[in-house]
């Protein structure tokens, strides 16, 4: 009698058509995970091979002789591959390939008007022979490679757009009302489609001395630490009372890395009249600061940040209005994320003059003078000036 007409032959034919092409070992992989089981994705196993891993042992009774080997090419975009201990390297490689296809987004804030520049657009001021905003855009390209760049324009927006030009990957969005950095970031985020796994950088067009090395450092540190936010800090050189930059409040614990408590903008500091701002660390320690104490802090925010997009979409709407300046501050995200016990990292700038903005004509002259200096080699470490060297330490939220 032909095999197909015997009881065993009909059973084998039915199984070949209707049963899924997966062995008990592979079902065990889904149930027990890659640390326990091993994927036999190389050479085909013989039918009578004994199960070598726990998943196969538990399921050895299931299927019996029906176990069949799965070809090495068994996986598809619709059926993700299961990895065992020997496949971790290839799994990490495939994840990197997938992530590389999701280009990071850089939001460049270039909408504000400088009141101290007699109404002129400060991001168009020439530093080192190029407009400040063009230098920032070039640094982003050097640091991140291919990326999507969203330039937020407002005051003299057409002029800014003409200077930057229309290039591939660069988009423009208009901030009709200049309501601060938090509002500018919200306008840019509303322009983007939702990609939770994407990185979002935020830089200011009036920071022409920002370096590619620093951007790479905050990106690498956030990825390595898994932080919800990473930003760049510098140190004030000379008299701290004259700086308009936001102060980075940290809790220092000797040789341990400092914990970031908050970023306090200068307009908020100026409103303190005999009052104190109190911050609580993750260990329950209370740190109270008067106006004078906050102005004496040398660690300052350099306005370069990075977050996962999912973090921004969840927490950016929580920003509150600051009536003293009439703005939403993106720096308030530090306190918001700490309330959720999320990790925030502060990374030191590569060079001491990197944080020179161009808010005033004096600072513009200082930036032009510093632009001619040679940047240090990759191995060098920045020199932090000032009596309180601890203010320049890298902060790590110990949450």
Helix axes 212-225, 132-144, angle to 10 degrees: 50
Indicate whether this model's pTM tops 0.85: no
- Residue 226 confidence (pLDDT): 94
Nearest to 215 by CA among 224, 203, 205, 226: 203
- Residue 138 confidence (pLDDT): 94
Distance, CA of 249 to CA of 259 (rounded, Å): 9
- Residue 117 confidence (pLDDT): 62
Please name the residues in contact with 250: beta carbons below 8 A apart, sequence gap of 6 or more. 258, 259, 260, 261, 299, 346, 391, 393, 395
> Residues 312, 192: contact at Cβ < 8 Å?
no
Q: Which residues pair with 170 in a beta bridge?
A: 149
Question: What string of pLDDT tens digits covers the 399 residues of the chain?
Answer: 555 455 665 555 445 444 444 444 443 333 334 333 333 333 333 434 433 332 332 233 333 333 333 333 322 233 333 333 344 556 556 555 545 468 999 999 999 776 666 556 788 888 888 899 999 999 999 999 999 999 999 988 899 999 999 999 999 999 999 899 999 999 999 999 999 999 999 999 989 999 999 999 999 999 999 999 999 999 887 778 878 889 999 998 876 788 999 999 999 999 998 899 999 998 899 999 999 999 999 999 999 999 999 999 999 999 999 988 889 999 999 999 999 999 999 999 988 788 787 777 788 888 888 876 544 333 333 322 322 333 333 233 222
Instruction: Tell me how many degrees the CA angle 363-367-373 measures, rounded to the nearest 5.
Output: 150
What is the domain partition of the chain in residue ranges?
Answer: 3-98, 102-396
CATH of 102-396, one of 3.90.550.10, 2.60.120.260, 3.40.50.720, 3.30.750.24: 3.90.550.10
């Amino acid at each position: 009698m032909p095999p197909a007409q015997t009881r065993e032959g009909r059973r084998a034919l039915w199984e070949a058509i209707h049963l899924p092409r997966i062995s008990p070992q592979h079902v065990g992989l889904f149930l027990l995970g890659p640390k326990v089981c091993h994927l036999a994705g190389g050479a085909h196993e013989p039918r009578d091979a004994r199960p070598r891993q726990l998943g196969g042992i538990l399921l050895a009774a299931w299927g019996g002789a029906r176990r069949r080997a799965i070809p090495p090419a068994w996986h598809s975009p619709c059926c993700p591959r299961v990895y065992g201990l020997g496949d971790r390297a290839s799994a990490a490689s495939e994840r990197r390939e997938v992530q590389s296809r999701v280009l990071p987004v850089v939001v460049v804030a270039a909408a504000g008007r400088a009141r101290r520049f007699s109404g002129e657009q400060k991001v168009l001021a020439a530093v080192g022979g190029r407009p400040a905003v063009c230098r920032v855009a070039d640094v982003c390209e050097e640091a991140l490679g291919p990326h999507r760049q969203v330039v937020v324009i407002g005051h003299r927006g057409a002029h800014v757009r003409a200077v930057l030009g229309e290039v591939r990957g660069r988009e423009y969005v208009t901030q009709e009302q200049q309501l601060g950095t938090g509002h500018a970031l919200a306008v840019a985020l509303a322009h983007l489609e939702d990609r939770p796994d994407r990185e979002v950088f935020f830089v200011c067009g009036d920071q022409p001395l920002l370096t590619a090395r620093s951007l790479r450092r905050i990106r690498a540190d956030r990825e390595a630490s898994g932080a919800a936010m990473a930003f760049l800090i510098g140190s004030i050189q000379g008299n701290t009372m004259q700086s308009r930059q936001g102060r980075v409040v940290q809790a220092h614990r000797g040789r341990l890395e400092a914990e970031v408590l908050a970023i306090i903008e200068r307009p908020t500091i100026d409103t303190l009249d005999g009052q104190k701002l109190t911050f609580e660390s993750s260990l329950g320690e209370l740190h109270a600061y008067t106006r004078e104490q906050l102005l004496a802090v040398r660690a300052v925010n350099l306005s370069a940040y990075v977050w996962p997009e999912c973090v921004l979409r969840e927490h950016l709407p929580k920003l509150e209005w600051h009536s003293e300046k009439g703005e939403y501050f993106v720096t308030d995200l530090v306190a918001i994320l700490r309330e959720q016990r999320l990790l925030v990292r502060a990374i030191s700038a590569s060079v001491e003059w990197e944080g020179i903005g161009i808010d005033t004509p004096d600072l513009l002259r200082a930036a032009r003078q510093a632009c001619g200096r040679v940047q240090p080699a990759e191995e060098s470490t920045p020199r932090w000036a000032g009596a309180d060297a601890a203010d320049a330490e890298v902060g790590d939220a110990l949450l």
